[in-house]
A = this chain, B = another copy of it.
Amino acid sequence: MPLPDHLHPADLADELQRLTPEEAQARLRSLPRDQAAAVVQELDDELRPRLLEGLSKKELSELVGDLPHNEAADVIGKLPKEQQTELIYKLPRDDQQEVTNLLQYPPDTAGGIMSDEFIALHADQTVEGCLKSLRPKAEEQPDRNVRLASISYLYLTDDCKRLIGIVSLRDLVFSRPDRTIREMMNPDVKAVSVNDDQEKIARLFEHYHYLALPVIEKDGRLVGIVSAKAVMGVIQDEATEDMQLMVGLSGEERAFTPWQTSIRRRLPWLCINLGTAFLAGAVVQIFEGTIARWTALAIFLPIVAGQGGNAGAQTLTVIVREMALGEMSKGDGRRALIKEAILGVCNGLAIGVLVGVVAYFWKGKAMLGLIVGVAMLLNMIAAALSGVFVPYTLRAFKVDPALASSIFVTTVTDVAGFFFFLGLAAVMLHFFPLH
């Protein structure tokens, strides 16, 4: 029977995340074993190791033994090597091999997010034989809600455990009992490889609306399934990661990540940002003499740069997101660049004229309006181009196109903006001195 709603493992896990590690451990110990195992599965990746760290060896090995294999492998995989071996050795003999198998896959691959709870049948059985062999399996499953997913589809394998087809429980139930599975199975079954990246898998699910996908080894053996449940988490996490990477965060930071951890992760990017800010400062320094002759220019520095920064962020956000959703194939980059360039020119003209007119009325100098307006137009174009180039360049270097992309685009818009604006001012002042 499922637990009553107010005791849902996911809610209990939330409760635990709000406690100190010590309090959370005490609460976990107070729960019945099956419930504790259910709660541990719901804890987020950051809290879980901190919480389990405080358990005794005996508590930990009991707990791990109560987890499904894939969750057990997740927990064990985060421990030091010698502790891993010890824990695996303490597992029931049947589970040792399975957990060891799962441990070999990196956590962000199909192998890392798959479950090994699926039902594989031999295709040369009758429908009736199948249903008979399923009955005891159905009865032994302890929690009918959580593990229901694994039985929407049944997988058909050959003698070497290679995947050869799929049949839905529904088709099985409503077919003549004497038909063989081979007759009714769908042999055109889509599968992913154990090494496939989880982001790619999430895109497949989203694109084709799968409920579950079988996972196969290089030799075609069926080794697990990835469920829509696992994929929903991946979609959330990948979106979080992209948003965070853009501004120089780790991709895994949560609001209540301990501040010591946050500092270690954020400070390096802030230092990189500082380096790029000095670059912008250096451009200003080149034109220090120009500013000395006409200090009103300093007022418009942040306006030209800030506006470019926002326009660049708009372009960048669209491109990075589209890449993450897998919708930017080869050739699309040029098309996107053209579109963004057109936008840069149009928005640049609109904002350039606006800011030029304001500058003229504010300071009463037509020349200033002209300089600000033209610099603004040029910087908006630079913003649009860098918003496309930065993520494409990152991708060409095989890093995440989101990585610190916002920092890089801002660097371009600051440096270009100051250069256009102050450079133009220097030239104009040369030909039309103020006094």
Nearest CB in chain B to that of A303: its residue: B277
A259 & B339 in contact (Cβ 8 Å cutoff)? yes
Contact of A343 among B235, B262, B418 (CB under 8 A): B262
A298 & B301 in contact (Cβ 8 Å cutoff)? yes
Closest chain-B Cβ to A152's Cβ sits at a distance in Å of: 5
Closest chain-B Cβ to A10's Cβ sits at a distance in Å of: 5
Closest chain-B Cβ to A419's Cβ sits at a distance in Å of: 12
B305 & A302 in contact (Cβ 8 Å cutoff)? yes
Nearest CB in chain B to that of A414: its residue: B302
A-side interface mostly: helix
Contact of A168 among B144, B244, B255 (CB under 8 A): B144
Contact of A256 among B131, B168, B276, B336 (CB under 8 A): B336
In chain A, residues 211-258, which have Cβ atoms closer than 8 Å to a Cβ of chain B?
211, 228-229, 231-233, 235-236, 239-240, 242-244, 246-249, 253-256
Q: Is A134 an interface residue, CB under 8 A from the partner?
A: yes
Nearest CB in chain B to that of A355: its residue: B274
In which size bucket is the chain A interface? Answer: 35 or more
A280 & B266 in contact (Cβ 8 Å cutoff)? no
Report A115-141 CB contacts with B as 1/0, cut-off 8 Å.
000000000000000010011001100
Nearest CB in chain B to that of A153: its residue: B148
Q: Is A163 an interface residue, CB under 8 A from the partner?
A: no
Q: Is A70 an interface residue, CB under 8 A from the partner?
A: no
Of A134, A262, A335, A358, most B-chain CB atoms within 10 Å: A262
21 contacts between A and B (CB under 8 A): A10-B209, A135-B174, A138-B170, A144-B171, A146-B209, A148-B152, A148-B170, A209-B229, A232-B232, A235-B239, A239-B243, A243-B317, A248-B314, A249-B318, A255-B336, A266-B347, A267-B350, A274-B307, A281-B303, A285-B296, A302-B305
